[in-house]
Structure 1
Amino acid sequence: MARYKMLVLSRPTEGCEDEYNDWYQNTHLAQIISLPGFIAAERYELAVNMLGEGAYPYIAIYEIETDDVQSAFAALQDAAGDGSIVMSPAFDTASVYASIYAPLGERISRS
């Protein structure tokens, strides 16, 4: 079965950081991994901005395992459209970046 990563770079609505983090960690991640093909999720916050301005303060990385990534994406779109995924007003939807990536080459690690 093929594996993918979905990256979501986002920021909270101005003044709503606590609400954003609570909703994302305690509601949203579980809603996403309940969808077909989505098997795990993890969040990170910006530790060091290495280049440029306007770095996203948060990233979520979702693991997808499926032989049909388009159907996993369709399930996500359907859930967003039918209200199965509850979005928080603390999530700044105007600035979010989200994409699904396929592995390219073998994973390299230090021995």
Structure 2
Amino acid sequence: MTRFMSVAFTNAVEGKEEEYNTWYTERHVHDVLAIPGIVSAQRFRVIGDRASGFDFSFMTLYEIETEDLESVHKAIAERSGTPLMPRSDSVSTKRLFLDAEPIMKKMVRADP
């Protein structure tokens, strides 16, 4: 099986960050992990200079194991907005999703 990395950059609606983080961590991540092929998820707060125009506050990194990445995306689309994966009005409509496939094995620094 090929292991892909998928990253989702999102924002909370202004004034709804607490609701957004609760929904994303306690509900949404679990709904996504229920999809066959998605094996892990980890959320991050984006830090750094926003002057470059990259204006996202949160990032979620998903690991996906599949030979058919398209079918995983299809399952996400089919579940989105249903009781299997309800949406929250605390999530901004501005989002960015990227997938990546490995071109080399992961290297780990050896201790000196």
**Structure 1 and Structure 2 fold alike (TM over 0.5):** yes
2:12 corresponding residue in structure 1: 12
Which deviates the most, 3-12 or 49-58? 49-58
> Which structure 2 segments of 5+ residues have no match?
none
1:27 corresponding residue in structure 2: 27
3-state SS of the aligned residue for 1:110? coil
Which deviates the most, 21-30 or 38-47? 38-47
Taking the aligned partners of 1:80 and 1:49, their CA distance within structure 2 comes to 32
Taking the aligned partners of 1:53 and 1:101, their CA distance within structure 2 comes to 22
Q: Any conservation in 2 of the 1:49–1:55 contact (CA below 8 Å)?
A: no
Q: RMSD over aligned Cα, in angstroms? A: 1.7
Normalized against structure 1, the TM-score is what? 0.89
> Which structure 1 segments of 5+ residues have no match?
none
Q: CA deviation at 1:77?
A: 1.1
Q: Any conservation in 1 of the 2:81–2:87 contact (CA below 8 Å)?
A: no
Runs of 4+ in 1 over 6 A off after TM superposition: none
Cα deviations by residue, 1:42-92 (Å, 9 ceiling, x for unpaired):
000023337613431100011111111111111111111645211100001
Q: CA deviation at 1:29?
A: 0.1
Which deviates the most, 76-85 or 49-58? 49-58
**Identity of aligned pairs, percent?**
25
Across the two proteins, how many residue pairs are aligned to each other? 110
Taking the aligned partners of 2:54 and 2:64, their CA distance within structure 1 comes to 28
